[in-house]
Structure 1
Amino acid sequence: MQSEISKEQMQQAVWRELGVSPWFRMDQARIDAFADVTEDHQFIHVDPIRAAQTDFGGTVAHGMLTLSMMSGMAYGALPKVAEAKASVNYGFDGVRFIAPVHAGKRIRGRFTLTEAKLRGRGDLMTTFAATVEIEGGPRPALKADWLVLYLF
């Protein structure tokens, strides 16, 4: 069950880690499905034999697939904001793809609230320092400053 936090508590939680997601496996089937949906069939993602001949040593997930997994990660990690009618992905102020995610590896997200400001009619604009970790890896897959707008 997802925990709940008030708008006021959210504003007071700046610079606190608010959640860590469960692990998600980035298997070849997920990578292939993403390639089909996005029409991005670059061989380093979908051809294990050719990809094995590169410095990657095998297939790797698309950076954009790893980034898109953050929505599901956040849903499993972040508290629900009480009385919010909806939360909206407002975009990114910065995204850096740091390390490749090899097929078969597991990833998870960490979310630290870095800003929470009221806007207009009382909506809450938040920014999260988001990191996607690779299980057992020395470096994260990506880091991003993610804006999420909570509508009231």
Structure 2
Amino acid sequence: MPTMINKSDINDYIGFQAEPTQWHQVTQEQIDQFADCTRDHQFIHIDPEKAKQTPFGSTIAHGFLTLSMLSHFAEQNTVIIDGFYMGINSGFDKIRFLQPVTVNSRIRSHAKTLEIEEKKPGQYRLKTEVSIEIEGVDTPALIAEWISIQMVK
């Protein structure tokens, strides 16, 4: 669940570490659908037999598929300012892909609020440090600094 906060408490949530999200299993079907959507059909993603011959030993999710899962995970670990009615993805300051996500791996997200700033009345800019953990793997799949805008009444 997102963490609901009052405008008056914003400074108390700088540095706030949300609970990790629930696990999500990345299936071959999801990888194939992403390949079709992006037209990225490199064999390492969609051909299990050829992928067995690589150092990964199986197909892997596209890095951008893993990154796109942040939208799903944000529903569970975002800080939401009271009066929120719309959110806008404003991009990333940093993104690093550190570890491939092999097919059937389970992933989850971690989020830490770095900044919350009111840019205009009712418009808040948030910077969140996010990572994607792969179950049983020490190195995260990715780390990033995500910028979003919350429109608040």
TM-score, length basis structure 2: 0.93
User: 1:79, CA displacement in angstroms?
Assistant: 4.1
Unaligned runs of 5+ in 1: none
Q: Percent identity?
A: 38
Cα deviation, 1:63-110, whole Å, max 9, x if unaligned, reads 000000001101022243210121111100010000000000010000
Is the CA contact (8 Å cut-off) linking 2:131 and 2:142 kept in structure 1?
A: yes
User: 1:2, CA displacement in angstroms?
Assistant: 4.6
Give the counterpart letter for 1:147 in structure 2.
I
Partners in 2 of 1:14 and 1:21 — Cα distance? 19
Partners in 1 of 2:55 and 2:119 — Cα distance? 47
Structure 2 equivalent of residue 131 of structure 1: 131
Structure 1 equivalent of residue 98 of structure 2: 98
Structure 2 counterpart SS, 1:41? coil
Give the counterpart letter for 1:73 in structure 2.
F
TM-score, length basis structure 1: 0.94
1:79-94 equivalence runs, <5 A: 79-94=79-94
Partners in 2 of 1:53 and 1:59 — Cα distance? 10
Is the CA contact (8 Å cut-off) linking 1:19 and 1:112 kept in structure 2?
A: no
> Could you say what the CA RMSD is over the residues aligned between the two structures, in angstroms?
1.3
1:122 corresponds to 2:113: no
Structure 1 equivalent of residue 70 of structure 2: 70
Partners in 2 of 1:67 and 1:44 — Cα distance? 17
Is the CA contact (8 Å cut-off) linking 2:3 and 2:77 kept in structure 1?
A: no
Give the counterpart letter for 2:27 in structure 1.
D
Unaligned runs of 5+ in 2: none
Is the CA contact (8 Å cut-off) linking 1:14 and 1:114 kept in structure 2?
A: yes
